[in-house]
Amino acid sequence: MLRPCLSVRPRRIRRGTALTLTLATVLATGAAAGSWHAGHTAHPRPRPIAATGTRTADRAAVEKAAAEAMAAGKSGAQAAAEVVSRSGDRWSTIYTAGEFEDFQRQLDGDYVGVGLWLRQARGGRMEVSRVRSGGPADRAGTARGDRLLAIDGRPVRGRPVTEVVALLRGDGTVGRGRVGTPVKLAFQRGARKWTATVRRARLRSQDVTTDRPAGASGPVRIRVGAFTKGSGAAIRDAVRAAPRGAGLLLDLRGNTGGLVDEATAAASAFLDGGLVATYDVHGRQRALYAGGGGNTRVPLVVLVDGGTMSAAELLAGALQDRGRAVVVGAPTFGKGSVQMPSTLPDGSVAELTVGHYRTPAGRTVDGHGITPDLSVDDGATARAVTVLSGLGTGA
């Protein structure tokens, strides 16, 4: 059975060039830097992937180009990538077999990186928003609030966050981006500037975390960085563990998406069955439903921003349409078209756009995003806590 996967993932256009990350980190608050990487094996699982953009690459043309190139002794993947590039489809892409396998691994929660979360501050500055405990950056003394100035001597100020992450990973450089390879980082903390050389490591993502931003008597915040394997169950566990009478903040800011099965499981933590979303594949309509037994009484506010994408938008839209949550923050990214992976004759993988998904009320997410019930640019968490105080205890 096909398992939809709605996420922003690495896009490879030409073999031998840098693997470009497309909004795979924070646009506003943060996502795991270095969490998208390349790997190795040859049998991709066919799962739809969400994307954005109205132009689509023609599957027949892609497969024909790959076959003709192979018959001529050339790279089928290269030829297929050129067809995709000319089509103007922003999100369709060609992976080598190894790259696609590593993409699957990242959705299972594994990544190669240094354990930094970044956000782009004012003036284009790169700021560390979180450091993975025990990771390479943590061992080097990096702390939240540090400014990242350069990577391997290349200044990062003003660069898109996606490029900064690509530099952290070493994508596109022979022998780089692998476990154990070094990367030299330059930081600033106040007036102090220093450099540290760390080695990339294989890490397990921590995509679901909880805290209480307003103190011990306040609501529980459940942060979800991405919908990787097991995140749905982790969210349900966090809901069940929340003290009786405490409201919940579901923080999806900076969430780049992931496995739609996990986003649906997350919806099931707050709903007692019912529609979560619909999507189409080559014109055939399909539906996603929540499981039964979710907590339908606990007050819930969902935090979103411009970095909330794909499966995260699907979840926010479902909870909003079903009247289950108040959505607070900034309009989301608007990424909701579906791609389907298929294997080309040389073992590479083509992911081409085949349809779109919609919220329970029939709203199209692609190109539109989710509009919050309460739009807040600054201080969204504090406003969300205030909203929760007016929703009662749900007891």
Q: What is the DSSP string of 43-95?
A: ------EEE--S----HHHHHHHHHHHHHTTS-HHHHHHHHHHHHT-SS-EEE
* d(C-alpha 30, C-alpha 253), whole Å: 8
Helix/strand/coil for 101: helix
pLDDT of residue 54: 52
Determine the distance from the C-alpha atom of residue 271 to the mean position of all C-alpha atoms in its chain, rounded to a whole number: 23
pLDDT of residue 5: 53
Residue pair 116/147 in contact (Cβ under 8 Å)? The answer is no
Residue owning tokens 């060609």: 94
* d(C-alpha 61, C-alpha 282), whole Å: 16
For the 113-204 domain, the top CATH level (class) is: mainly beta
Helix/strand/coil for 208: strand
* d(C-alpha 127, C-alpha 270), whole Å: 34
pLDDT of residue 117: 79
pLDDT tens digits along 39-48: 222 222 333 4
pLDDT tens digits along 339-377: 788 899 888 999 888 878 899 999 999 999 999 999 998
**pLDDT below 50 — which residues of the chain?**
1-4, 8-53, 172-176
Looking at domain 208-333+359-389, what is its CATH homologous superfamily? 2-enoyl-CoA Hydratase; Chain A, domain 1 (3.90.226.10)
Residue pair 118/97 in contact (Cβ under 8 Å)? The answer is no
User: Backbone dihedral region of 369: left (phi > 0), alpha (psi from -120 to 50 degrees) or beta?
Assistant: left
pTM above 0.85, yes or no: no
The DSSP string of 238-277 is HHHHSPTT--EEEE-TT--EEEHHHHHHHHHTT-SS-EEE
User: Domain coordinates of the chain in residue numbers?
Assistant: 113-204, 208-333+359-389
pLDDT of residue 393: 67
